[in-house]
C-alpha cells in the first residue's frame, strides 16, 4: 500500500472518530471564545507531548535510567511513568470532576 494512501486513510479514520465528540464539546462550552478554547484543548496536549515525552522522557531513557525493555519492547521507565500518571489521575479524580464548571449542565 502506498504511504500516502495509508496516511490519508489514517487521517480519515481519526477524523471520523474524533469529530463528533469535539463538536459536542464545542456546543456545550459556555465560555466566550469557544474556538480558542477548542484550539487549546486540541493543541495543548500535543505541544506538551512533543516537549515532555519526546524530549525529556527520551533524554532520561537515553541516559540509561530504567531503559531495559522487557514487556512488548517498552522501556521500564515508560511503565513507571504511566503508573505514576494513573495514580495522579486517581488522586485528583474528584477535583477534576468538580472543575467541569465551564461546561453546560
Give the pLDDT of residue 101.
52
- Please report, for residues 20, 24, 91, 100, the alpha-carbon distance to residue 28 in angstroms, rounded to integers and kept in the order given: 12, 6, 27, 11
The domain locations on the chain are 3-102
Chain-centre distance for alpha carbon 69: 23
Q: What is the pLDDT along the chain (105 residues), one digit of tens a residue?
A: 688 889 899 999 999 998 898 888 888 888 788 888 888 878 888 888 888 777 777 787 778 777 677 777 777 777 888 888 888 888 887 777 776 655 544
Of 87, 99, 103, 85, residue with least CA distance to 48: 85
Amino acid at each position: 500500500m502506498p504511504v500516502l494512501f495509508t496516511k490519508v486513510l489514517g487521517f480519515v479514520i481519526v477524523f471520523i472518530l474524533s469529530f463528533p465528540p469535539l463538536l459536542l464539546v464545542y456546543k456545550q462550552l459556555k465560555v466566550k471564545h469557544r474556538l480558542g478554547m477548542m484550539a487549546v484543548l486540541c493543541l495543548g496536549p500535543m505541544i506538551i507531548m512533543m516537549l515532555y515525552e519526546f524530549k525529556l522522557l527520551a533524554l532520561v531513557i537515553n541516559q540509561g535510567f530504567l531503559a531495559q525493555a522487557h514487556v512488548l519492547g517498552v522501556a521500564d521507565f515508560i511503565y513507571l511513568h504511566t503508573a505514576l500518571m494513573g495514580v495522579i489521575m486517581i488522586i485528583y479524580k474528584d477535583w477534576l470532576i468538580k472543575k467541569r464548571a465551564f461546561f453546560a449542565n
